[in-house]
Amino acid sequence: MTGPSPIDDKRLRFDNFGDNDLFSKKPRLPAMGWNSWNAFGSGNTEELTKAMIMKIKELELDKLGYTYVVLDDGCYRPGRVNGHLQADDVKFPSGFKAMADLVHTQGLKFGMYNDIGTKLCSGAEVGIYGFEKTDCEDYIKWEIDFIKVDNCYYMWDNATFANPENAKYSYAPNIKSIAVGGRIYDAAEAVITGTRASVKDGYVTSIGTFDGTAPDHSPSGLRSSELIFDVEAAEDGMEDMHVTYATGAEEGVGQWLQIAAEDNIIFDSLLPATGSPEDFETSQSIPVNLKKGINKIRIMNHRRQENTLHSYTEIRRELENAGDRDIVFSICEWGKTQPQNWGHKVGDSWRILNDITFQVGSDGDHGTASWESDYTTSITSQYNKAVIMDKYAGLGKGWNDPDMLVIGMNGIDMTMYLSHMAMWCMMNSPLMLGLDLRRVNKGDDIYNIISNKELIALDQDPLGVQAKRIFSTAGSSEPDKEYIRDNKRIDILAKPLANGDIALGFFNLDQVIRDDDISTDIDTILKALDNKAVSTDALKKAASFMVKDLITGVVYETPERTFNSGTLAACGCKVIRISPVT
Amino acid sequence: MTTEEFISELCGAAGMEFDGVFERGRKEGWLEAGDVLFKDRPIKRRDAARILHMYLLKVMKTEDLDINGAKELHDLYDCRICANHIAQVYLRGIMDAKDIKRGGGFLIFDPDGEDSDDANTDFIRRLISLTADR
């Protein structure tokens, strides 16, 4: 393991992230099912999984769309046997194929878990790195329908449990200048794209990509920085270029440098290490082919994103051998490498942050979740980021994944459960139940929330357009783009639906009752949706509207073109479906 | 101290039979397959935290504490799988944090670190004295 693979396929390059050209992807709606992690953590077993399958059938959750049964971390023997994965013989004594068969005989779909690194997050030494072909052959033999792939112990980034010094692959060195054609160009005078890099003491640092694992950074806009020099050449021809640089192995300063002349990459490798991040040296000669006139020389490192995409692509490529078997590919790199930029090329969904809870349950303990936290571990932390990521999601692209549902866990109440469900449905998030289903009975409060057909229909609406935030009482001028983390507010989300209706959600994120009674009107909604509504004309010309409250079930017709939130309970919501009456 | 030695110490302190403890612990859900497969390896702090926490949960039937108090550990959320284990043993005073800033004030748990035999023995002693008080 000497370093990340060369990237010979241009489709994996940053410049081509926008192209959807790697695989022939089936347009699919967000996956729905049950995942073992939030319910049982590493303590999931065959017996527990069987009990969940039986409850899915008893509650008829499969008829509502919850069809995937996914075994998360903790299910494998922690070492390979003759190079192959094997089930933990105490937890899953019958093995994975038997588990898959059981799931399939119940008309459900079977999901598993792995990791692009050398180990799983649990520490089990069965990460898929180097075993992509073998493992995917086994997964196909086991007839999986879904795979979630994590990012611990990753070799080429400072991911969880990876060597922190792997950051050397993720960032360019600090750059003081380049010399080309007999002229020196100061980095401090060059153009910096994006907001990640900055000038410090006469050099440029942090040339690379924001780490999106924690909730600190917005997902909007350019999430990486390059340093661009305008190099003038008197005539066409080769020149020697030298870079004055200083290396590190930490977030913000690395050792891997990419250089492109316009869009041609001319260097993509580690530079020799310097004494410290402020100990500058001059590189060996790097030949560059210049054209007469101004040449844009790009100093960059997009490897954080490119390496991760490459690793997921290696797996996806092997899964293509499944033939007609349709396998959902769930990317779980926690938003670290801004997967909203590249996830659509390879995956069906991509996690946007670290976990929604770190206090998962076990048999007899529901685990604990939160409405609000200063890290990723809450419903609102996940929502606040996902709600401004609608432009990245869609049919044929994939879905933003704000993590599995925490409905049923301790620490949050029924109002929060309901808003959580409604948020996830409005945002076209995968709906993975994460509770011990043995506590649920038909008709009880939790059942009524997770089985709300009207909300699920929003998530699974065939138009496949994630709701857009069109207003926030936080006062944003760009509510669909601005990253708002202060939860003392109400948001309005609008979502166009395939039959021409509009779903409208009012979400009180505040932990106190709010009687603001905010409103929006049909013209504002249509303008904000920017022609994504199917029946814009019908909505504009409607003489009245049928309005259905998707939580209370109340239906009424109104000539009013304005829709109000009314009083919202603490952490409460109101979600309505608006149909034009012509 | 290896994982096996750690578990042996725990058995001794808790008055449990060591013979058959791996099978028993796995069935009861407080030991993992890795504890058996890699029993000869030096035990990492996160594995010590996991075993002690799961012993509290599964054997002593102790309820978890709210983990917010452990947020002062700067590396708490580095580990999706062990954050709760770490928080529970830290908040109960079973395992200590490490202060890595000169002058103090920057606490980490160092989940991938290893402790001396004496320190590991002391963690077990603290766990047993906690449960003995109940």
Task: Locate the chain A residue with the closest alpha carbon to B83.
Answer: A358
Residues 6+ apart with CB under 8 A from A90: B26, B27, B33
Confidence (pLDDT) at A161: 86
Mean pLDDT score across all residues of chain A: 97
pLDDT score of B101: 76
Q: Do A160 and B79 touch (CB under 8 A)?
A: yes
DSSP state of B130: H
CA distance B115 to B31: 19
Q: Provide the number of structural domains found in chain A.
A: 3
Q: Residues A551-572: pLDDT tens digits?
A: 999 999 999 999 999 999 999 9
Tell me the mean pLDDT in the region A526-551: 95
Verify that A141 and A236 share a domain, yes or no.
no
pLDDT at A114: 98
CA–CA gap between residue A369 and residue A358 (Å, rounded)? 8
Q: How many residues does chain A have?
A: 582
Please answer whether residues A438 and A408 qualify as being in contact, where contact means their C-beta atoms are separated by less than 8 angstroms: no
Reply yes or no on whether the pLDDT at A73 is more than 70: yes
Q: Are A176 and A202 in contact (CB under 8 A)?
A: yes
If phi over 0 gives left and psi between -120 and 50 gives alpha, with beta otherwise, what is residue A124? beta
Residue A154 and residue A48 share a domain: yes
Q: What are the pLDDT digits (tens) for A353-403?
A: 999 999 999 999 999 999 999 999 999 999 999 999 999 999 999 999 999
- A455 with A325, same domain: the answer is yes
CA distance A159 to chain B (A): 9
d(CA B39, CA A190): 56
Query: Nearest CA to B31 among B71, B65, B70, B4?
Result: B4
CB contact under 8 A, A78 and B38: yes
AA identity, residue A55: K
A200 and A252 fall within a common domain: yes
Domain of residue A495, CATH code: 2.60.40.1180
Buried b (16+ CB within 10 A) or exposed e, A11-23: ebbbebbeebebb
- Enclosing H/E stretch for A248: none
The amino acid at residue A325 is: R
* CA A481 vs CA A219, A220, A388, A508: distances in Å: 9, 6, 5, 19
DSSP calls for A511-572:
SS-B----EEEHHHHHHHHTT-STTHHHHHH-SEEEEEETTT--EEEE---EEE---B-TT-
State which residue of chain A sits closest to B28, comparing Cα positions: A43
Is the same domain home to A68 and A128?
Answer: yes
Residues A452 and A474 grouped into a single domain: no
Identity of the amino acid at A155: M
Among the partner-chain residues B29, B76, B78, the one whose CB lies closest to the CB of A43 is: B29
**What average pLDDT does range B86-92 have in this prediction?**
96
Count Cα neighbours of A109 within 13 Å in the Cβ-side half-sphere: 19
User: What is the rounded CA–CA span in Å between residue A483 and residue B37?
Assistant: 46
Beta bridge partners of A579: A546
d(CA B20, CA B127): 21
pLDDT for residue B134: 60
Question: How far is Cα A41 from Cα A8, in angstroms, rounded to an integer?
Answer: 39
A122 chain-B contacts, CB cut-off 8 A: 32, 34, 81
pLDDT band of B131, cuts 50, 70, 90: confident
A→B interface, C-beta within 8 Å = 41-43, 73-74, 77-79, 88-91, 121-124, 152, 160-161, 214, 354-355, 358-360, 362-363, 365, 368, 375-377
Residues A451 and A311 both lie in one domain: yes
Cβ distance of B77 and A377 shorter than 8 Å: yes
- The answer as to whether A41 is a domain residue is yes
Residue A257 banded pLDDT, cuts 50, 70, 90: very high
The pLDDT value given to residue B30: 95
Q: Work out the pLDDT band at A4, boundaries 50, 70, 90.
A: very high
The 10s digit of each residue's pLDDT in A234-243 is: 999 999 999 9
Q: For residue A507, give the 3-state DSSP assignment.
A: strand
- Asked if A525 and A416 sit in the same domain, the reply is no
A82: domain range?
A: 10-158+307-459
Last residue of a domain, one of A408, A433, A459: A459
Q: At what angle do helices B3-14 and B45-54 cross, to 10 degrees?
A: 30
Question: Which residues of chain A make contact with B112, given a CB cutoff of 8 A?
Answer: 161
Mean pLDDT of the A318-344 span: 97
For B25, name the nearest residue in chain A, comparing CA atoms only.
Answer: A90
Q: How far apart are CA A275 and CA A277, in angstroms?
A: 7
Decide if pLDDT at B102 tops 90.
no
Q: Cβ(A33)–Cβ(A433) under 8 Å? A: yes
Write the pLDDT tens digit of every residue in A509-533. 999 999 999 999 999 999 999 888 9
Residue of chain A minimizing CA distance to B29: A43
Instruction: Indicate whether A335 pLDDT > 90.
Output: yes
Contact A79 B37 (CB under 8 A): yes
Contacts of A79 in chain B (CB under 8 A): 37-38
CA distance A517 to chain B (A): 34
Q: What is the mean pLDDT of residues B32-41?
A: 96
User: Is residue A5 a part of any domain in this protein?
Assistant: no
CB contact under 8 Å between A122 and B81, yes or no, is yes
Q: Is A347 exposed, middle or buried (0-12, 13-18, 19+ CB in 10 A)?
A: buried
Q: Residue holding tokens 């929006």?
A: A520
C-beta atoms of B47 and A123 within 8 A: yes
CB distance A385 to A352 below 8 Å = yes
| Phi and psi angles of residue A156, each rounded to the nearest 5 degrees, phi first | -115, 20
Of A91, A214, A365, the CB nearest to B64: A365
Domain assignment of residue A545, yes or no: yes
For residue A147, the Cα-to-chain-centroid distance in whole angstroms is 15
Whether A354 sits inside 8 A of B77 (CB atoms) is yes
The stretch B21-28 carries a mean pLDDT of 95
Q: What percent of chain A has pLDDT over 90?
A: 96
Q: In this prediction, what percent of chain A has a pLDDT beyond 70?
A: 100
Give the domain CATH number at A328.
3.20.20.70
State both tokens at A572: 């409460």
A78 contacts on B by Cβ (under 8 Å): 32-34, 37-38
Residues of A in contact with B53 (CB under 8 A): none
Do A153 and A56 reside in the same domain of the chain? yes
Question: CA-to-CA distance for B48 and B88, rounded, in angstroms?
Answer: 12
Pairing of strands A32-35, A431-433: parallel
Q: Are A272 and A364 members of one domain?
A: no
Domain carrying residue B112: 3-132
Q: And the tokens for A357?
A: 């809870």
User: Which of A27-31, A173-177, A523-527, B97-101 is predicted least confidently?
Assistant: B97-101
pLDDT tens digits along A271-315:
999 999 999 999 999 999 999 999 999 999 999 999 999 999 999
Q: Which pair of tokens denotes residue A474? A: 């936080």
Q: What is the pLDDT of residues A181-203, one digit of tens each?
A: 999 999 999 999 999 999 999 99
Is residue A70 within 8 A of residue A104, CB to CB? The reply is no
Pairing mode, if any, of strands A68-70 and A32-35?
parallel
Overall domain count for chain B: 1
Q: How far is CA A308 from CA A155, A169, A208, B119, in A?
A: 10, 11, 14, 39
Distances (CA, A) of A62 to A327, A328, A402, A417: 18, 17, 22, 20
Query: Residue A78 and residue B37: Cβ atoms within 8 Å?
Result: yes
Q: Which of A111-115, A320-324, A423-427, A496-500 has the lowest mean pLDDT?
A: A320-324
Rounded to two decimals, the ipTM of the complex is 0.91
A300, A324, A354 — which closes off a domain?
A300
- Of A262, A284, A300, the position where a domain reaches its end is A300
Please give the structure tokens belonging to residue A564.
């109000």
* Residue type present at position A194: G
Q: Which residues of A touch B46 (CB under 8 A)?
A: 123
Q: What is the mean pLDDT of residues A338-344?
A: 98
* Residues A523, A558 within the same domain: yes
Q: Which residue from A88, A360, A365 is facing B33, i.e. has the nearest CB?
A: A88
**Residue A252 zone, left/alpha/beta (φ > 0; ψ -120 to 50; rest):** left
pLDDT band at A417 (very low <50, low <70, confident <90, very high): very high
Residues A213 and A344 in one domain: no
**C-alpha–C-alpha distance, residues A45 and A363, integer Å:** 10
Q: Mind telling me how many Å the CA of A133 is from chain B's nearest CA?
A: 25
Give the mean pLDDT of A216-226.
96
> Does the pLDDT at position A497 exceed 90?
yes
A146 pLDDT higher than 70 = yes
Q: Do residues A217 and A231 make contact, with C-beta atoms less than 8 angstroms apart?
A: no
